[in-house]
A and B are shown apart, each in its own frame.
With several copies, the nearest count.
Chain A
Amino acid sequence: MTLDVAWALDWVRRSAATVTEHRDELVELDRLIGDGDHGENLARGFAAVVGRLEALPEQPAQVGDVLRLVATTLMSTVGGAAGPLYGTAYLRASKATATSALDSDGVVAMLEAALDGVVTRGRAGAGEKTMVDAWTPAVAAAVEAADHGAPPSEVLAAAARAAHDGAEATVPLVATKGRASYLGERSVGHLDPGARSSELLLVAAAEAAAAAD
Protein backbone atom coordinates (compact mmCIF):
# COMPACT_ATOMS: atom_id res chain seq x y z
CA MET A 1 0.00 0.00 0.00
CA THR A 2 1.41 3.38 -0.97
CA LEU A 3 0.21 6.98 -1.10
CA ASP A 4 0.17 8.45 -4.58
CA VAL A 5 -0.42 11.82 -6.20
CA ALA A 6 -4.18 11.43 -5.88
CA TRP A 7 -3.68 11.08 -2.13
CA ALA A 8 -1.52 14.20 -2.10
CA LEU A 9 -4.22 16.14 -3.96
CA ASP A 10 -6.85 14.85 -1.58
CA TRP A 11 -4.68 15.85 1.37
CA VAL A 12 -4.43 19.39 0.04
CA ARG A 13 -8.19 19.65 -0.48
CA ARG A 14 -8.87 18.29 2.98
CA SER A 15 -6.30 20.70 4.38
CA ALA A 16 -8.07 23.63 2.77
CA ALA A 17 -11.39 22.39 4.08
CA THR A 18 -10.17 21.91 7.63
CA VAL A 19 -8.40 25.26 7.99
CA THR A 20 -11.49 26.95 6.61
CA GLU A 21 -13.73 25.04 8.97
CA HIS A 22 -11.44 25.83 11.91
CA ARG A 23 -10.62 29.37 10.76
CA ASP A 24 -12.44 31.07 13.63
CA GLU A 25 -11.03 28.70 16.22
CA LEU A 26 -7.48 29.41 15.02
CA VAL A 27 -8.19 33.14 14.95
CA GLU A 28 -9.46 32.94 18.51
CA LEU A 29 -6.45 30.94 19.74
CA ASP A 30 -4.17 33.50 18.10
CA ARG A 31 -6.23 36.40 19.48
CA LEU A 32 -5.58 35.13 22.98
CA ILE A 33 -1.79 34.94 22.78
CA GLY A 34 -0.93 36.48 19.42
CA ASP A 35 -2.50 38.86 16.97
CA GLY A 36 -5.60 37.00 15.86
CA ASP A 37 -4.73 36.26 12.27
CA HIS A 38 -3.52 32.66 12.14
CA GLY A 39 -6.83 31.18 10.95
CA GLU A 40 -7.30 33.94 8.42
CA ASN A 41 -3.75 33.53 7.14
CA LEU A 42 -4.07 29.77 6.60
CA ALA A 43 -7.57 29.96 5.13
CA ARG A 44 -6.34 32.56 2.64
CA GLY A 45 -3.25 30.49 1.83
CA PHE A 46 -4.97 27.15 1.30
CA ALA A 47 -7.77 28.73 -0.71
CA ALA A 48 -5.05 30.02 -3.03
CA VAL A 49 -3.43 26.57 -3.14
CA VAL A 50 -6.70 24.95 -4.19
CA GLY A 51 -7.21 27.64 -6.80
CA ARG A 52 -3.81 27.00 -8.32
CA LEU A 53 -4.27 23.23 -8.19
CA GLU A 54 -7.48 23.53 -10.11
CA ALA A 55 -5.82 25.72 -12.69
CA LEU A 56 -3.16 23.09 -13.42
CA PRO A 57 -3.39 21.80 -17.01
CA GLU A 58 -2.69 18.22 -15.93
CA GLN A 59 -2.21 16.18 -12.78
CA PRO A 60 1.35 16.44 -11.42
CA ALA A 61 3.52 13.34 -11.83
CA GLN A 62 5.06 13.24 -8.38
CA VAL A 63 3.89 13.74 -4.81
CA GLY A 64 6.66 16.29 -4.49
CA ASP A 65 5.18 18.37 -7.31
CA VAL A 66 1.99 18.81 -5.34
CA LEU A 67 3.84 19.70 -2.17
CA ARG A 68 6.06 22.18 -4.02
CA LEU A 69 2.98 23.96 -5.31
CA VAL A 70 1.66 24.09 -1.75
CA ALA A 71 5.01 25.45 -0.56
CA THR A 72 5.33 28.26 -3.08
CA THR A 73 1.69 29.26 -2.77
CA LEU A 74 1.76 29.41 1.03
CA MET A 75 5.03 31.34 0.85
CA SER A 76 3.48 33.94 -1.45
CA THR A 77 0.03 34.28 0.08
CA VAL A 78 0.17 33.61 3.82
CA GLY A 79 2.69 36.09 5.18
CA GLY A 80 3.24 36.35 8.91
CA ALA A 81 5.30 33.70 10.67
CA ALA A 82 3.23 30.79 9.43
CA GLY A 83 3.82 31.58 5.74
CA PRO A 84 7.57 31.08 5.67
CA LEU A 85 7.43 28.30 8.27
CA TYR A 86 4.83 26.16 6.52
CA GLY A 87 6.27 27.22 3.17
CA THR A 88 9.69 25.90 4.10
CA ALA A 89 8.18 22.77 5.66
CA TYR A 90 6.34 21.89 2.45
CA LEU A 91 9.34 22.84 0.33
CA ARG A 92 11.62 20.47 2.23
CA ALA A 93 8.90 17.83 2.20
CA SER A 94 8.54 18.20 -1.54
CA LYS A 95 12.24 17.56 -2.03
CA ALA A 96 11.93 14.36 0.02
CA THR A 97 9.01 13.13 -2.07
CA ALA A 98 10.27 13.29 -5.65
CA THR A 99 8.41 10.10 -6.44
CA SER A 100 5.04 8.96 -7.73
CA ALA A 101 4.11 7.15 -4.50
CA LEU A 102 5.18 6.96 -0.86
CA ASP A 103 5.62 3.87 1.25
CA SER A 104 5.83 4.11 5.04
CA ASP A 105 9.49 5.06 4.98
CA GLY A 106 8.64 7.69 2.39
CA VAL A 107 6.01 9.14 4.69
CA VAL A 108 8.50 9.26 7.54
CA ALA A 109 11.06 10.97 5.31
CA MET A 110 8.44 13.52 4.26
CA LEU A 111 7.49 14.33 7.86
CA GLU A 112 11.11 14.52 8.98
CA ALA A 113 11.89 16.91 6.15
CA ALA A 114 8.90 19.09 7.07
CA LEU A 115 9.94 19.33 10.71
CA ASP A 116 13.47 20.04 9.60
CA GLY A 117 12.17 22.91 7.47
CA VAL A 118 10.23 24.46 10.34
CA VAL A 119 13.21 24.23 12.68
CA THR A 120 15.67 25.57 10.13
CA ARG A 121 13.53 28.62 9.44
CA GLY A 122 12.16 29.28 12.89
CA ARG A 123 15.08 28.18 15.04
CA ALA A 124 12.70 26.96 17.75
CA GLY A 125 13.32 23.85 19.76
CA ALA A 126 10.76 21.60 21.42
CA GLY A 127 8.99 23.12 24.43
CA GLU A 128 8.96 26.70 23.13
CA LYS A 129 5.19 26.58 22.54
CA THR A 130 5.21 26.60 18.76
CA MET A 131 4.18 24.32 15.92
CA VAL A 132 7.42 22.45 16.58
CA ASP A 133 5.70 20.97 19.62
CA ALA A 134 3.16 19.29 17.34
CA TRP A 135 5.62 18.20 14.65
CA THR A 136 8.28 16.77 16.94
CA PRO A 137 6.11 14.08 18.59
CA ALA A 138 4.37 13.50 15.24
CA VAL A 139 7.66 12.60 13.61
CA ALA A 140 8.68 10.39 16.53
CA ALA A 141 5.37 8.55 16.41
CA ALA A 142 5.65 8.10 12.65
CA VAL A 143 9.15 6.65 12.99
CA GLU A 144 7.96 4.22 15.62
CA ALA A 145 4.94 3.11 13.62
CA ALA A 146 7.03 2.60 10.49
CA ASP A 147 9.59 0.67 12.52
CA HIS A 148 6.76 -1.61 13.60
CA GLY A 149 5.81 -2.20 9.98
CA ALA A 150 2.68 -0.11 9.91
CA PRO A 151 1.32 0.85 6.48
CA PRO A 152 1.49 4.53 5.38
CA SER A 153 -2.07 5.30 6.49
CA GLU A 154 -1.33 4.05 9.98
CA VAL A 155 1.94 5.91 10.09
CA LEU A 156 0.04 9.12 9.35
CA ALA A 157 -2.68 8.23 11.83
CA ALA A 158 -0.05 7.77 14.54
CA ALA A 159 1.55 11.08 13.59
CA ALA A 160 -1.80 12.88 13.73
CA ARG A 161 -2.58 11.45 17.17
CA ALA A 162 0.81 12.47 18.45
CA ALA A 163 0.41 15.94 16.96
CA HIS A 164 -2.85 16.27 18.81
CA ASP A 165 -1.22 15.33 22.11
CA GLY A 166 1.72 17.60 21.34
CA ALA A 167 -0.58 20.53 20.62
CA GLU A 168 -2.53 19.96 23.84
CA ALA A 169 0.75 19.80 25.71
CA THR A 170 1.53 23.38 24.67
CA VAL A 171 -1.19 24.68 27.01
CA PRO A 172 0.88 24.84 30.21
CA LEU A 173 4.03 26.07 28.44
CA VAL A 174 5.50 29.58 28.55
CA ALA A 175 6.07 30.72 24.96
CA THR A 176 9.65 31.65 24.20
CA LYS A 177 9.40 32.00 20.42
CA GLY A 178 7.03 33.90 18.14
CA ARG A 179 4.54 36.54 19.09
CA ALA A 180 3.22 34.72 22.17
CA SER A 181 6.65 35.08 23.79
CA TYR A 182 5.93 38.81 24.29
CA LEU A 183 3.32 37.77 26.83
CA GLY A 184 5.79 35.94 29.00
CA GLU A 185 4.01 34.11 31.82
CA ARG A 186 0.67 35.31 30.48
CA SER A 187 0.99 32.88 27.58
CA VAL A 188 0.48 29.99 30.02
CA GLY A 189 -2.92 28.30 29.85
CA HIS A 190 -3.49 28.70 26.12
CA LEU A 191 -3.07 26.32 23.20
CA ASP A 192 -0.57 27.44 20.57
CA PRO A 193 -2.45 28.20 17.34
CA GLY A 194 0.36 26.96 15.08
CA ALA A 195 0.52 23.66 16.97
CA ARG A 196 -3.22 23.30 16.55
CA SER A 197 -3.11 24.02 12.82
CA SER A 198 -0.23 21.55 12.44
CA GLU A 199 -2.41 18.92 14.07
CA LEU A 200 -5.27 19.77 11.67
CA LEU A 201 -3.00 19.38 8.65
CA LEU A 202 -1.69 16.01 9.84
CA VAL A 203 -5.21 14.81 10.60
CA ALA A 204 -6.14 15.79 7.04
CA ALA A 205 -3.18 13.75 5.74
CA ALA A 206 -4.24 10.72 7.78
CA GLU A 207 -7.87 11.02 6.69
CA ALA A 208 -6.87 11.26 3.05
CA ALA A 209 -4.75 8.15 3.52
CA ALA A 210 -7.59 6.29 5.24
CA ALA A 211 -9.91 7.24 2.39
CA ALA A 212 -7.36 5.94 -0.13
CA ASP A 213 -7.09 2.55 1.63
Chain B
Amino acid sequence: MKKLINDPQDVVVESVEGFGLAHADLVQVHRDPLFVARVAGTVPGKVGLVSGGGSGHEPLHAGFVGVGMLDAAVPGAMFTSPTPDQVAPAIAAADGGAGVLTIVKNYTGDVLNFETAAELAEADGVTVRTVLVDDDVAVEDSLYTAGRRGVAGTVAVEKIAGAAAERGDDLDAVAAVAERVVTNVRSMGVALTACTVPHAGRPSFDLPEDEIEVGIGIHGEPGRRRVPMAPADEVTEMLLAPVVEDLGLSGGEQVLLLVNGMGGTPASELYVVYRRARALLAERGVEVTRSLVGNYVTSLEMQGASVTVLRLDDELTALWDAPVHTAALRW
Protein backbone atom coordinates (compact mmCIF):
# COMPACT_ATOMS: atom_id res chain seq x y z
CA MET B 1 0.00 0.00 0.00
CA LYS B 2 1.42 3.36 -1.05
CA LYS B 3 -0.46 6.45 -0.01
CA LEU B 4 0.31 10.09 0.61
CA ILE B 5 -0.56 9.79 4.27
CA ASN B 6 1.17 9.76 7.61
CA ASP B 7 -0.16 7.47 10.36
CA PRO B 8 -3.29 5.79 8.91
CA GLN B 9 -5.06 6.68 12.16
CA ASP B 10 -4.57 10.37 11.46
CA VAL B 11 -5.51 10.59 7.81
CA VAL B 12 -9.10 11.73 8.32
CA VAL B 13 -8.26 14.47 10.81
CA GLU B 14 -5.23 15.70 8.87
CA SER B 15 -7.14 15.71 5.63
CA VAL B 16 -10.08 17.61 7.10
CA GLU B 17 -7.63 20.09 8.63
CA GLY B 18 -6.04 20.63 5.24
CA PHE B 19 -9.46 21.02 3.71
CA GLY B 20 -10.34 23.64 6.28
CA LEU B 21 -7.12 25.56 5.61
CA ALA B 22 -7.58 25.45 1.84
CA HIS B 23 -11.21 26.58 2.01
CA ALA B 24 -11.18 28.91 4.96
CA ASP B 25 -13.39 31.28 3.00
CA LEU B 26 -16.14 28.64 2.94
CA VAL B 27 -15.90 26.39 5.96
CA GLN B 28 -14.83 26.11 9.53
CA VAL B 29 -13.60 22.84 10.95
CA HIS B 30 -14.77 21.87 14.43
CA ARG B 31 -12.55 19.54 16.45
CA ASP B 32 -13.66 17.20 19.23
CA PRO B 33 -16.01 16.14 17.87
CA LEU B 34 -14.99 16.51 14.26
CA PHE B 35 -17.36 18.19 11.83
CA VAL B 36 -17.29 20.84 9.12
CA ALA B 37 -19.70 23.78 9.03
CA ARG B 38 -20.22 26.89 6.95
CA VAL B 39 -17.80 29.62 7.93
CA ALA B 40 -20.65 32.09 8.33
CA GLY B 41 -22.41 29.85 10.82
CA THR B 42 -26.13 29.20 11.05
CA VAL B 43 -28.59 31.16 8.99
CA PRO B 44 -31.48 32.21 11.26
CA GLY B 45 -34.81 31.00 9.95
CA LYS B 46 -33.28 28.75 7.29
CA VAL B 47 -33.74 25.00 7.45
CA GLY B 48 -30.36 23.45 8.27
CA LEU B 49 -28.93 20.69 6.10
CA VAL B 50 -26.57 18.12 7.58
CA SER B 51 -25.03 15.13 5.93
CA GLY B 52 -22.10 12.89 6.64
CA GLY B 53 -20.80 9.39 6.46
CA GLY B 54 -17.59 7.47 6.31
CA SER B 55 -14.57 9.28 4.90
CA GLY B 56 -12.95 8.19 1.64
CA HIS B 57 -15.75 9.49 -0.59
CA GLU B 58 -14.38 13.01 -1.00
CA PRO B 59 -15.49 15.59 -2.06
CA LEU B 60 -18.65 14.10 -0.48
CA HIS B 61 -19.71 15.51 2.03
CA ALA B 62 -17.46 18.33 3.26
CA GLY B 63 -16.87 19.51 -0.30
CA PHE B 64 -20.57 20.38 -0.48
CA VAL B 65 -20.73 22.62 2.57
CA GLY B 66 -21.52 26.18 1.62
CA VAL B 67 -24.20 28.54 0.39
CA GLY B 68 -26.88 26.68 -1.54
CA MET B 69 -25.98 23.26 -0.27
CA LEU B 70 -25.06 21.78 3.14
CA ASP B 71 -24.76 23.64 6.44
CA ALA B 72 -22.61 20.96 8.02
CA ALA B 73 -20.91 17.71 7.10
CA VAL B 74 -19.73 15.00 9.48
CA PRO B 75 -16.80 12.83 8.39
CA GLY B 76 -16.44 9.44 10.02
CA ALA B 77 -13.39 7.23 9.97
CA MET B 78 -12.52 5.77 6.56
CA PHE B 79 -15.65 4.04 5.21
CA THR B 80 -17.12 4.11 8.72
CA SER B 81 -20.12 6.22 9.56
CA PRO B 82 -19.54 9.00 12.09
CA THR B 83 -20.72 8.57 15.66
CA PRO B 84 -23.79 10.16 17.23
CA ASP B 85 -21.65 12.43 19.37
CA GLN B 86 -20.21 13.93 16.19
CA VAL B 87 -23.50 14.18 14.35
CA ALA B 88 -25.60 15.65 17.15
CA PRO B 89 -23.43 18.78 17.60
CA ALA B 90 -23.35 19.22 13.83
CA ILE B 91 -27.14 19.16 13.81
CA ALA B 92 -27.20 21.70 16.62
CA ALA B 93 -24.72 23.91 14.75
CA ALA B 94 -26.84 23.79 11.61
CA ASP B 95 -30.11 24.69 13.31
CA GLY B 96 -31.23 28.20 12.59
CA GLY B 97 -34.49 27.66 14.42
CA ALA B 98 -36.33 26.17 11.45
CA GLY B 99 -35.23 22.60 12.07
CA VAL B 100 -32.67 20.39 10.40
CA LEU B 101 -32.86 17.87 7.59
CA THR B 102 -30.27 15.10 7.77
CA ILE B 103 -29.41 13.45 4.49
CA VAL B 104 -28.29 9.90 5.19
CA LYS B 105 -27.02 7.31 2.76
CA ASN B 106 -28.84 4.07 3.40
CA TYR B 107 -26.27 1.93 5.17
CA THR B 108 -26.99 0.20 8.47
CA GLY B 109 -24.17 2.04 10.20
CA ASP B 110 -25.13 5.46 8.91
CA VAL B 111 -28.79 4.92 9.63
CA LEU B 112 -28.19 3.76 13.21
CA ASN B 113 -25.72 6.51 14.09
CA PHE B 114 -27.77 9.32 12.56
CA GLU B 115 -30.89 7.91 14.21
CA THR B 116 -29.25 8.10 17.63
CA ALA B 117 -27.88 11.55 16.86
CA ALA B 118 -31.31 12.79 15.85
CA GLU B 119 -32.72 11.52 19.14
CA LEU B 120 -30.00 13.39 21.03
CA ALA B 121 -30.58 16.59 19.06
CA GLU B 122 -34.34 16.38 19.48
CA ALA B 123 -33.84 15.94 23.20
CA ASP B 124 -32.07 19.30 22.98
CA GLY B 125 -35.07 20.83 21.25
CA VAL B 126 -34.04 20.67 17.59
CA THR B 127 -36.64 19.42 15.12
CA VAL B 128 -34.97 16.84 12.93
CA ARG B 129 -36.20 15.17 9.76
CA THR B 130 -34.24 12.57 7.86
CA VAL B 131 -34.15 11.55 4.25
CA LEU B 132 -32.53 8.25 3.32
CA VAL B 133 -30.79 8.13 -0.04
CA ASP B 134 -30.96 4.73 -1.73
CA ASP B 135 -30.28 5.24 -5.42
CA ASP B 136 -28.12 2.20 -6.15
CA VAL B 137 -30.04 -0.14 -8.43
CA ALA B 138 -27.31 -2.78 -8.12
CA VAL B 139 -28.87 -3.86 -4.85
CA GLU B 140 -32.37 -5.19 -4.96
CA ASP B 141 -34.61 -3.45 -2.51
CA SER B 142 -36.16 -6.48 -0.95
CA LEU B 143 -36.68 -8.36 2.25
CA TYR B 144 -33.34 -9.96 1.65
CA THR B 145 -31.10 -6.92 1.81
CA ALA B 146 -30.65 -3.91 4.03
CA GLY B 147 -32.34 -2.03 1.17
CA ARG B 148 -30.65 -0.21 -1.65
CA ARG B 149 -27.49 1.75 -0.91
CA GLY B 150 -26.99 5.45 -1.24
CA VAL B 151 -24.32 6.35 -3.79
CA ALA B 152 -23.68 9.20 -6.25
CA GLY B 153 -27.31 10.32 -6.36
CA THR B 154 -26.56 11.85 -2.96
CA VAL B 155 -25.00 14.84 -4.72
CA ALA B 156 -28.29 15.64 -6.41
CA VAL B 157 -30.22 15.30 -3.15
CA GLU B 158 -27.82 17.61 -1.33
CA LYS B 159 -27.74 20.19 -4.13
CA ILE B 160 -31.47 20.36 -4.68
CA ALA B 161 -32.50 20.20 -1.04
CA GLY B 162 -29.84 22.82 -0.35
CA ALA B 163 -31.36 25.14 -2.91
CA ALA B 164 -34.83 24.61 -1.46
CA ALA B 165 -33.57 25.44 2.03
CA GLU B 166 -31.72 28.46 0.74
CA ARG B 167 -34.82 29.91 -0.93
CA GLY B 168 -36.65 29.65 2.39
CA ASP B 169 -38.72 26.47 2.18
CA ASP B 170 -39.77 25.12 5.57
CA LEU B 171 -38.60 21.80 6.92
CA ASP B 172 -41.52 19.80 5.54
CA ALA B 173 -41.07 21.31 2.11
CA VAL B 174 -37.30 20.76 2.06
CA ALA B 175 -37.80 17.17 3.18
CA ALA B 176 -40.46 16.70 0.51
CA VAL B 177 -38.26 17.96 -2.31
CA ALA B 178 -35.38 15.81 -1.05
CA GLU B 179 -37.69 12.79 -1.06
CA ARG B 180 -38.75 13.68 -4.57
CA VAL B 181 -35.14 13.60 -5.70
CA VAL B 182 -34.63 10.25 -3.98
CA THR B 183 -37.69 8.88 -5.76
CA ASN B 184 -36.40 10.03 -9.12
CA VAL B 185 -32.69 9.27 -8.98
CA ARG B 186 -30.94 5.97 -9.71
CA SER B 187 -27.30 4.96 -10.05
CA MET B 188 -25.14 2.00 -10.91
CA GLY B 189 -21.37 1.64 -10.69
CA VAL B 190 -18.49 -0.45 -11.93
CA ALA B 191 -14.98 -1.01 -10.58
CA LEU B 192 -11.92 -1.81 -12.66
CA THR B 193 -9.73 -1.98 -9.57
CA ALA B 194 -10.36 -2.23 -5.85
CA CYS B 195 -9.31 0.45 -3.40
CA THR B 196 -7.14 0.13 -0.33
CA VAL B 197 -8.44 1.41 2.99
CA PRO B 198 -5.41 2.87 4.85
CA HIS B 199 -5.94 0.88 8.04
CA ALA B 200 -6.58 -2.35 6.12
CA GLY B 201 -3.42 -1.98 4.07
CA ARG B 202 -4.52 -4.21 1.24
CA PRO B 203 -7.03 -3.93 -1.60
CA SER B 204 -10.66 -4.32 -0.61
CA PHE B 205 -11.10 -7.14 -3.09
CA ASP B 206 -8.96 -9.09 -5.53
CA LEU B 207 -9.81 -8.56 -9.16
CA PRO B 208 -8.00 -10.29 -12.03
CA GLU B 209 -6.51 -8.12 -14.76
CA ASP B 210 -9.25 -9.08 -17.25
CA GLU B 211 -12.34 -8.75 -15.09
CA ILE B 212 -14.45 -5.95 -13.69
CA GLU B 213 -16.92 -5.75 -10.83
CA VAL B 214 -20.37 -4.56 -11.86
CA GLY B 215 -22.75 -3.20 -9.28
CA ILE B 216 -20.23 -1.98 -6.74
CA GLY B 217 -21.02 0.35 -3.90
CA ILE B 218 -18.74 3.11 -2.71
CA HIS B 219 -16.97 1.31 0.12
CA GLY B 220 -14.75 -0.98 -1.85
CA GLU B 221 -17.32 -3.73 -1.40
CA PRO B 222 -17.28 -6.31 -4.17
CA GLY B 223 -20.08 -5.82 -6.69
CA ARG B 224 -23.02 -8.03 -7.55
CA ARG B 225 -21.24 -9.82 -10.34
CA ARG B 226 -17.89 -10.10 -11.97
CA VAL B 227 -17.75 -9.94 -15.75
CA PRO B 228 -14.96 -9.97 -18.31
CA MET B 229 -13.48 -6.58 -19.16
CA ALA B 230 -15.40 -5.01 -22.04
CA PRO B 231 -15.17 -1.83 -24.14
CA ALA B 232 -16.39 1.35 -22.45
CA ASP B 233 -19.45 1.54 -24.66
CA GLU B 234 -20.61 -1.88 -23.48
CA VAL B 235 -19.81 -1.19 -19.86
CA THR B 236 -21.79 2.04 -20.08
CA GLU B 237 -24.78 0.11 -21.37
CA MET B 238 -24.48 -2.35 -18.45
CA LEU B 239 -24.68 0.59 -16.07
CA LEU B 240 -27.26 2.72 -17.81
CA ALA B 241 -29.80 0.08 -18.83
CA PRO B 242 -30.83 -0.96 -15.29
CA VAL B 243 -30.90 2.68 -14.21
CA VAL B 244 -33.25 3.65 -17.01
CA GLU B 245 -35.39 0.60 -16.47
CA ASP B 246 -35.69 1.05 -12.73
CA LEU B 247 -36.63 4.70 -13.21
CA GLY B 248 -39.18 3.71 -15.82
CA LEU B 249 -37.96 6.50 -18.08
CA SER B 250 -39.89 7.07 -21.25
CA GLY B 251 -39.30 9.11 -24.38
CA GLY B 252 -39.69 12.86 -24.07
CA GLU B 253 -38.58 13.01 -20.45
CA GLN B 254 -35.80 15.32 -19.34
CA VAL B 255 -32.99 14.18 -17.08
CA LEU B 256 -29.79 15.14 -15.37
CA LEU B 257 -26.93 12.80 -16.29
CA LEU B 258 -24.09 12.41 -13.81
CA VAL B 259 -21.04 10.36 -14.73
CA ASN B 260 -19.16 10.01 -11.50
CA GLY B 261 -15.55 8.87 -11.15
CA MET B 262 -14.65 6.54 -8.29
CA GLY B 263 -11.47 8.50 -7.58
CA GLY B 264 -8.77 6.88 -9.70
CA THR B 265 -10.29 7.17 -13.16
CA PRO B 266 -8.90 9.75 -15.59
CA ALA B 267 -11.34 12.46 -16.66
CA SER B 268 -10.85 11.38 -20.27
CA GLU B 269 -12.43 8.01 -19.51
CA LEU B 270 -15.38 9.59 -17.72
CA TYR B 271 -16.12 11.63 -20.82
CA VAL B 272 -15.95 8.50 -22.99
CA VAL B 273 -18.61 6.98 -20.72
CA TYR B 274 -20.63 10.20 -20.75
CA ARG B 275 -20.57 10.28 -24.55
CA ARG B 276 -21.99 6.76 -24.77
CA ALA B 277 -24.58 7.36 -22.04
CA ARG B 278 -25.80 10.40 -23.96
CA ALA B 279 -26.14 8.33 -27.11
CA LEU B 280 -28.02 5.55 -25.28
CA LEU B 281 -30.42 8.03 -23.70
CA ALA B 282 -30.95 9.75 -27.05
CA GLU B 283 -31.82 6.37 -28.59
CA ARG B 284 -34.55 6.07 -25.97
CA GLY B 285 -35.80 9.57 -26.68
CA VAL B 286 -34.65 10.86 -23.30
CA GLU B 287 -33.30 14.39 -23.28
CA VAL B 288 -30.27 15.23 -21.17
CA THR B 289 -30.77 18.83 -20.08
CA ARG B 290 -28.27 18.96 -17.21
CA SER B 291 -24.91 17.21 -16.82
CA LEU B 292 -22.17 16.65 -14.33
CA VAL B 293 -18.96 14.72 -15.03
CA GLY B 294 -16.20 14.22 -12.48
CA ASN B 295 -15.19 12.81 -9.12
CA TYR B 296 -18.03 13.60 -6.74
CA VAL B 297 -18.70 10.45 -4.71
CA THR B 298 -15.55 8.41 -4.66
CA SER B 299 -14.02 5.27 -3.16
CA LEU B 300 -10.51 6.44 -2.40
CA GLU B 301 -8.32 5.62 -5.40
CA MET B 302 -10.66 3.03 -6.92
CA GLN B 303 -10.75 2.97 -10.72
CA GLY B 304 -14.24 2.86 -12.08
CA ALA B 305 -17.29 5.00 -12.57
CA SER B 306 -20.97 5.21 -11.88
CA VAL B 307 -23.81 6.52 -13.96
CA THR B 308 -26.60 8.44 -12.26
CA VAL B 309 -29.81 9.64 -13.86
CA LEU B 310 -32.24 12.05 -12.21
CA ARG B 311 -35.65 12.61 -13.76
CA LEU B 312 -36.13 16.36 -13.91
CA ASP B 313 -39.14 18.61 -13.85
CA ASP B 314 -39.17 22.39 -13.94
CA GLU B 315 -38.85 22.77 -10.19
CA LEU B 316 -36.01 20.29 -9.80
CA THR B 317 -34.22 21.90 -12.74
CA ALA B 318 -34.57 25.36 -11.22
CA LEU B 319 -33.29 24.14 -7.87
CA TRP B 320 -30.35 22.39 -9.58
CA ASP B 321 -29.55 25.63 -11.39
CA ALA B 322 -29.77 27.79 -8.27
CA PRO B 323 -26.45 29.30 -7.17
CA VAL B 324 -24.14 27.12 -5.15
CA HIS B 325 -20.81 28.01 -3.62
CA THR B 326 -18.95 25.10 -2.10
CA ALA B 327 -15.45 23.69 -2.49
CA ALA B 328 -16.54 21.05 -4.99
CA LEU B 329 -19.60 22.50 -6.69
CA ARG B 330 -19.91 26.12 -7.64
CA TRP B 331 -22.06 28.16 -10.02
Contacts and interface: CB of A to CB of B under 8 A. Distances in A.
Query: Which of A35, A76, A77 has the largest number of chain B CB atoms within 10 A?
Result: A35
A80 interface: yes
A178 interface: yes
B76 interface: yes
Contact of A36 (B33, B79, B84): B79
B108 A178 contact: yes
A31 interface: yes
A60 interface: no
B221 A183 contact: yes
Contacts of B84: 75-76, 84
Given A44-B77, A79-B82, A84-B84, A31 B146 contact: no
A80 B83 CA distance: 8
A181 B112 contact: no
B224 A75 contact: no
Contacts of A178: 108, 146
B2 to A, nearest CB: 17
A177 interface: yes
A36 B144 CA distance: 22
B183 to A, nearest CB: 21
Interface in B79-109: 79-85, 107-109
Interface string A157-200: 00000000000000000101111011110100000000000000
Contacts of B108: 81, 122, 177-179
B107 A78 contact: no
Given A36-B197, A84-B84, A178-B108, A79 B221 contact: no
Contact of A84 (B33, B116, B200): B116
B202 interface: yes
A85 interface: yes
A5 interface: no
A184 B200 CA distance: 23
A79 B199 contact: no
A184 B115 CA distance: 26
A107 interface: no
A103 interface: no
Contact of B83 (A37, A79, A122): A79
Interface string A23-63: 00001000110111100110010000000000000000000
Contact of B224 (A37, A44, A184): A184
Given A27-B199, A35-B219, A36-B197, A174 B144 contact: yes
Contact of B112 (A32, A84, A176, A184): A84
B118 to A, nearest CB: 12
Contacts of B149: 182
Nearest to B148: A182
A181 B82 contact: no
Most A C-beta atoms less than 10 A away, residue of B140, B220, B221: B221
B20 interface: no
B77 A41 contact: yes
B205 A31 contact: yes
A79 B81 contact: yes
Interface string B27-67: 00000010000000000000000000010000000000000
Interface in B113-165: 113, 115-116, 138-140, 143-146, 149
B85 A80 contact: no
Given A34-B221, A122-B112, A79 B107 contact: no
B217 interface: yes
A78 B83 CA distance: 7
Contact of B109 (A27, A44, A84): A84
A77 to B, nearest CB: 6
A179 B107 contact: yes
28 contacts: A27-B200, A35-B79, A35-B80, A35-B220, A35-B221, A37-B77, A37-B79, A37-B80, A75-B85, A76-B33, A76-B84, A79-B54, A79-B109, A80-B76, A81-B107, A83-B109, A83-B113, A84-B109, A121-B112, A176-B143, A176-B145, A178-B108, A179-B146, A181-B145, A182-B217, A184-B140, A184-B144, A184-B224
Interface of A: 27, 31-32, 34-37, 40-41, 44, 75-85, 121-122, 174, 176-179, 181-184, 186
Given A83-B113, A179-B219, 10 more contacts: A31-B202, A35-B220, A36-B197, A44-B9, A75-B116, A76-B33, A80-B80, A82-B109, A84-B109, A178-B146
Q: Ordered nearest first, which 9 A-B pairs have the shortest CB separation?
A: A84-B112, A35-B219, A80-B109, A81-B109, A76-B85, A181-B145, A81-B108, A36-B200, A80-B80
